[in-house]
Structure 1
Amino acid sequence: MELTVSIHRDELVERCKKGEAASYKELYQRYAKAMFNTCYRILNSIDEAEDVLQESFTEAFKNLHDFEYRTSFGGWLKQICIHRSINQLKKRKFRWEDIETISVYNIAEEDFIDENEIAFKVEHIKKCILSLPDGYRTVLSLYLLEGYDHQEIAEILNVAESTTRTQYMRAKQKLLQLLKEGI
């Protein structure tokens, strides 16, 4: 028994491929907010997120003829947004910490944080996530919010998978610390 997945052609995308100007605007309006949020979660800067969003749509529209429905248009566009956001982060020159190049991290020596005792509030969590260093915030966002696994994140960021796991572990611990401190 063979399992096949059928991805339907999006009429709006097809109209854009034919060059219908109004369709480009409609396609932009359909995806802009979600893509902006993706960019913003990675970059933590409204200005940079807006710039990356515009660059991503420009790239997508320029290469629309190459889009072949191997995935949804939204998934394809999201990949472009994520890659452009990561490239923008790299321009900031932040440093990834690789587990092989740092001293052994002993969680047992750190203060124990009981996750069940922390009262979570959405706005407070967002504020704390945005206050994380770029590397931590990027990995945490890609893993928790975008649904990528560590192998995929490592490929996107061009780092070792152990690095993404370390960044995630530290980001989570730092986030919990910020939440506990009420920052």
Structure 2
Amino acid sequence: MDELVNKRINEVLDGQQEAFEEIVMLYQNRVYYVCYRILGSREESEDIAQEAFVRAYTNLHKFDQKRKFSTWIFRIATNLCIDRLRKKKPDYSLDAEVPGTEGLDMYSQLESAEDLPEAELEKMETQERVQYEISRLSETYRPVIVLRYIEELSLKDIAEILDLPLGTVKTRLHRGREALRQQMMGNW
């Protein structure tokens, strides 16, 4: 796939702008899901994913084709997510009442899991719970946990994406796992 992507990159650099569409199609879902796992908001994730591709396009001439494009685009997206997290603090709690309703809390706004077998429902509840707990991790640990366990990237790729030494990634991964475990044990 890297050869195909590098070919499309060269086409874009030669003035064939439409070749970038194929690159976007190859990576858009994965970039969106990385953003979603970090931000926890569909709208923000769509915005950040789109912005990541815009930045990649405008800076394509800076991309080193000896490296993997996926690592580069994940780095752009992750950095944008971290910037967004730093600019905002959580502005609601899932326990908070939905404005204009009587007694409905934010939990009622989560997607419905109707008509699923009990085991599937339990699995979904666990996944939602894990996603919620990941969203509560600090901006220091959240990207490392998402890239490692959701995207299943190597520690080396994570270090490159986050522009961190490998030892720092290992430390953050260990501490992030421990923080997640503590959160899960305390609220389970």
Q: TM-score range by the shorter chain?
A: 0.5 to 0.7
What SS does structure 1 have at the residue aligned with 2:15? Answer: coil
Query: What stretches of structure 1 move > 6 A for 4+ residues in a row?
Result: none
Deviations 1:106-140 (CA, angstroms, capped at 9, x unpaired): xxxxxxxxxxxxx8965333311221214264443
1:160 Cα deviation (Å)? 9.8
Instruction: Give runs of aligned pairs for residues 14-163 of structure 1, distance below 5 A.
Output: 14-93=10-89, 122-132=123-133, 133-135=136-138, 137-146=142-151, 147=153, 149=155, 152=159, 155=164
| Structure 2 unaligned blocks of 5 or more | 91-118
What SS does structure 2 have at the residue aligned with 1:131? Answer: helix
Tell me the distance in 1 between the aligned counterparts of 2:62 and 2:89.
32
1:46 Cα deviation (Å)? 0.6
RMSD in angstroms over aligned alpha carbons? 3.3
2:183 equivalent to 1:174: yes
Q: How many residues align?
A: 147
| Structure 1 unaligned blocks of 5 or more | 1-6, 95-118
Deviations 1:87-120 (CA, angstroms, capped at 9, x unpaired): 11111247xxxxxxxxxxxxxxxxxxxxxxxx89
* Contact persistence 1:137–1:171 (CA under 8 A): no
1:49 Cα deviation (Å)? 0.6
Tell me the distance in 2 between the aligned counterparts of 1:24 and 1:176.
45
* Contact persistence 1:43–1:134 (CA under 8 A): no
* Contact persistence 2:36–2:45 (CA under 8 A): yes
What SS does structure 1 have at the residue aligned with 2:64? Answer: coil
- Percent of residue pairs identical: 23
Deviations 1:56-77 (CA, angstroms, capped at 9, x unpaired): 1111000101112131112211
